[in-house]
Amino acid sequence: MVLCIVISSKQKPYLALGLMVAIVTGCAQQPAPKSPAPIVDSSSTVELPPDDSEHSSQYWLQQAARESVSRQPALLLKAASAALKEADPTLTLSITRELAVQPEPWLQRQLSALELQAWLQLEQYQTALSIVEQTNLGQLDEDARIAFSLAAARLFKQLNQPGKAAFWLLQWDELTALQQHSGDEWQRLWRLLSQLDPVQLNQLRVDAGPRTLAWLQLTRSVQQQLEQSGDLTRTLHQWQRNYAYMPDVSELPTAIGQLTELVPYQPKRIAVLLPIHGQLRQHAQSIQNGILAAASNQPELELFFLDSMQGTELLSQELQALNIDFVIGPLQRSQVDSIQQDANWLWPTLFLNQSSQQQSLNDEHYFFSLSLEDEGSQLAEFFQRRNFNRPVVIYAQNPGSERLARHFSRQWQQYGHSSPELYSFQSRDELEPVIARLLDLEQSRQRVRQISQLIPGTVESEPHSRLDIDAIYLIADPTQTRLIKPFLDVSVSPTAPSLPIYASSRSHSIQADRSDHRDLAGLTLTDMPWMLSDQQSQALRAEFDQLFPEQDENLQRLFAMGYDALLLIPQLQQQRAFPALRYRGLTGTLGLTETQTIRRELNWARYSQRELQLIQEP
């Protein structure tokens, strides 16, 4: 293969790209080479060729091969951009690497946006994150800032970080305030803003521009009106008067307009489908008790408890005969799947389990369970906010603990991190070697032995544990936790920084807490408010303990689930339309995901020398 363009010494940075063009197109007849154009002054601005989205990357590469040195960079930028549209990010990165050696500031102000989009297409999120962290948005050209902001928003949406995704879409909105566009990005922006809690919204106010402040005020006003059942239409028009430079109310995302027409569920006749007979009857009874307790202050409400073990067709006939408005249950997943797939099921339903389907097939089907996965997601999100990099997971070898450990690992990786270290154990005898392996104590002991052989006399030293671990996530039952925590305390070397240890609700037991728990001092865990006797539920808890003394703790949790299930019903429509809305229940702070699944955020607690104390997020 012969390169058919003349390359001067000043053209060497583009030699590889010229060769790439030659390989693709072959040797075409070329005009006589022009005299090299003067090098563009670093402070000047180079006029880019007119934008023509119909041209391919290969077209622009061919044009660059025919042009003078001064014209080639602009044409190569066009080629790199076209390659992104063609889903060829590898070509884009090849071009940007060639251009990166050029000193012209106008050129460097374009490259970061192209590189970020390319790595995003390649799903190399860690590399994309590093570009976002290293780039000063103000140093990019305007068009590059716009493209960079949109790409960064997509990156953080992919990494399940809606707060950061919203930040970058707000940056885009500030930059494109005077431009005409379809409004699709406003739709995406509103979906993100409607997920954020007050803390996340306040973080977006820092150094915010006028449009960002207007969007945040709109989000806050809408949430307040939904929580108070206020006049949302009036609120929107007042916002428009206060922020006349923002889009007209008619141009706002359609989801906002739909909120003005929202009618909450207000059922008067509710059917509860539970396995009243059989092996799960105790579970059903606990859920039923919770529902009845929640209904005690609603005298106008009629409840009908039906045996869910009947077939779907028989249940439908009973529900129609009873003129039911809303359904709670069933509890078993197989029955949930059967009802969910029944096209003739006419009632809005809050299922008491997850579905095997990835997506709800019906807008009025909701899913509520005491999912272990909620805890794993909460800890992964917490570690991400704390900027942890190397958490370690210790879990007992049983299906529930392993499921939670694997889910935490997947969630952690979705934030762009590598897989956390996972250590499992089956018996007490395995604990010491597992912890020694986790902390690299054996390597430290080996170094001590080697030094002892070199130095006469006795060497007084103790093993030093590794220093790169941010935190330990412990997934074990109460008995196992009371064995592991002291092992960890004595294994971490005194000279090492304090190593925080977090545990799941599987480590917590009200009954076990009545015995000595000094060995647990410093352990932080998550659990539902009902099991931590927070202030909101203390009166109900005292009444419950009097009625059901010494009840199994798993059944206590199901009582709380039944209680929340009934009180969630009026919240579901609003939460579906505005996911940031939360209901503070006995099982946690409850919100609705995109798959119409209730997600729980559990309370935090920490053991002191004397007791387990409720704390704010640590």
pTM: 0.80
Please tell me the predicted confidence (pLDDT) of residue 495: 58
Residue 356: pLDDT over 90: no
H helices present in 194-344, as ranges: 198-204, 210-228, 232-242, 254-259, 281-294, 312-322, 333-340
pLDDT-based confidence at residue 1 (cuts at 50, 70, 90)? very low
pLDDT exceeds cutoff 60 at 10: no
Exposed/middle/buried for residue 263 (C-beta within 10 Å: 0-12, 13-18, 19+): exposed
Q: Can you give the pLDDT at residue 267?
A: 96
Q: 315-332 b/e with 16+ CB inside 10 Å = b? A: bbeebeeeebbbbbbbbb
**Which domains, ranges and CATH numbers included, belong to the chain?**
161-262 (1.25.40), 274-369+535-596 (3.40.50.2300), 372-527 (3.40.50.2300)
What's the pLDDT score for residue 459?
Answer: 41
Q: How far apart are CA 375 and CA 527, in angstroms?
A: 8
Task: State the Cα–Cα distance between residues 318 and 313, nearest whole angstrom.
Answer: 9
**Average pLDDT, stretch 76-80?**
91
Q: What is the pLDDT of residue 360?
A: 67
Residue 201 has pLDDT above 70, yes or no: yes
Q: What is the pLDDT of residue 52?
A: 53
| High-pLDDT (> 90) share of the chain, % | 57
Please give the radius of gyration of the chain, using alpha carbons only, rounded to the nearest integer: 31
Give whichever of 33-37, 473-477, 486-490, 493-497 has the largest mean pLDDT: 473-477
Q: How confident is the model at residue 461 (pLDDT cuts 50, 70, 90)?
A: very low
Specify the pLDDT at position 506.
93
Contact 512, 483 (CB under 8 A): no
Cα-based angle 524, 530, 531 (whole degrees, multiple of 5): 45
Q: Which pLDDT does position 497 carry in this prediction?
A: 65
pLDDT in tens, 606-618: 998 878 999 988 7
* pLDDT tens per residue across span 229-275: 888 999 999 999 999 999 888 888 888 888 888 889 999 999 999 99
Instruction: Give the pLDDT score at 229.
Output: 81
Lowest mean pLDDT among 114-128, 450-464, 530-544: 450-464
Q: How many other β-carbons are positioned within 10 Å of the β-carbon of residue 38?
A: 9
Is the predicted pLDDT of residue 38 greater than 70, yes or no?
Answer: no
The pLDDT tens digits of the residues spanning 98-112 come to 898 887 888 889 999
**Averaged pLDDT, 526-533:** 93
Query: Using one digit for the tens of pLDDT, what is the confidence trace for 312-323?
Result: 999 999 999 999
pLDDT, mean over the chain: 84
**So what's the pLDDT on residue 492?**
67
Higher pLDDT among residues 68 and 32, named by residue: 68
The pLDDT assigned to 13 comes to: 45
CA 8 to chain centre: 52
Tokens of 612: 């387990």
* Stretch among 175-179, 317-321, 426-430, 452-456 having the lowest mean pLDDT: 452-456
Q: Which residue has the higher pLDDT, 360 or 93?
A: 93
Q: If you ran DSSP here, which 8-state letter would residue 597 be given?
A: B
Q: What is the mean pLDDT of residues 57-82?
A: 88
Question: Averaging pLDDT over each range in 4-13, 349-358, 487-496, which range is the top one?
Answer: 349-358
Provide the phi-psi class of 208: left if phi over 0, else alpha when psi is between -120 and 50, else beta.
beta
Going by pLDDT thresholds of 50, 70 and 90, the confidence category of residue 89 is very high
Separation in Å, CA 590 to CA 327, 435, 440, 527, 558: 19, 36, 40, 13, 15
pLDDT at 532: 92
pLDDT at 421 over 80: yes
The pLDDT-based confidence of 6 (bands split at 50, 70, 90) is: very low
Q: Looking at the predicted structure, is the pLDDT value of residue 545 above 60?
A: yes
- Minimum mean pLDDT range among 88-102, 461-475, 503-517, 575-589: 461-475
User: What whole-number distance in Å separates Cα of residue 68 and Cα of residue 468?
Assistant: 53
In this prediction, residue 453 carries a pLDDT of 46
Q: Tell me the pLDDT tens digit for each residue of 264-314.
A: 999 999 999 999 988 999 999 999 999 999 999 899 999 999 999 988 999
